[in-house]
Every structure is written in structure tokens, then in C-alpha cells.
Structure 1
Amino acid sequence: MAHVLNTNIASSSLFARLRGVAENARTSWALYKEYKRTYDELDALTDRDLADIGIRRCDIADLARTHVYGA
């Protein structure tokens, strides 16, 4: 049985790595903005509205985090 290992260390230029870092930063920022928007929308609801949909105020951060970042 043959095993093939592909390592592209030589072709991984500094520019490509910086582009990857920038893309990760953009993705992280977009996820954070979605988290903040979700959190703010839930936080703006009254306690009665939250009770109607079965959410406690202390659970808002966890719900927003799970919604955006997954379990």
C-alpha cells in the first residue's frame, strides 16, 4: 500500500499566508457582527416577550452564541 503526502511548504508564500490571515479575520468579524446583532435583538425584547417565546434573559448570550457559532 502506498502513501502519498503532499506538503506545499515551498509554495506557501508569505503573501498567501497573509491573505489567509486576512480572510480569517474577515470571517471572524462577520461572525461577531452576527452574534452582536442576534444578542441585541433578543436583549431589546421585554421580559414578557421573552417569556412568551420561552427564553430567560440570562440565556440570551448562550442562545446567540449557539445560533452563530454552533454548539
Structure 2
Amino acid sequence: MKILVHHRASDGTYGSSLITVVLLAEGERVSKNAIAVIMADLGTEGIVRSPTAWAIATTLSSPPSLRAVLSA
């Protein structure tokens, strides 16, 4: 089954959205919902990437005072 082939080729990271894109690029007539149902029946799922996982957090151990910033 092509869904499992692409899921395994992605090391289990592709979910229904990306597998749908890949299958459509190959000329298959599929929908995201149909792929999601089939993947759920097969017990496969992709990795959910949280937007906060990619956020850059910068902290200063001693932030400058407002007066120091304005006078610079």
C-alpha cells in the first residue's frame, strides 16, 4: 500500500497531509480525509510539530535598564 510505503520512507514523520501531497504529485486521486481514515485504521500517525518547538527564545541574564538603553 502506497500510504505505508511513504510513511515508512519518511521514518514515520509524514502524516495524512504530507502523504496526500505526495500521492497527488504521483497522480493519485485522493483526499486528505480519506488518507487520515486509512492511516487511523492502520494505526499509523505522523509527528506533530508544535509551533512553539521552533520558536527562538533569547534571555538575558541581566537585561539592561531602560535608562541605559535610551542613553546609548
Q: TM-score, normalised by structure 1?
A: 0.32
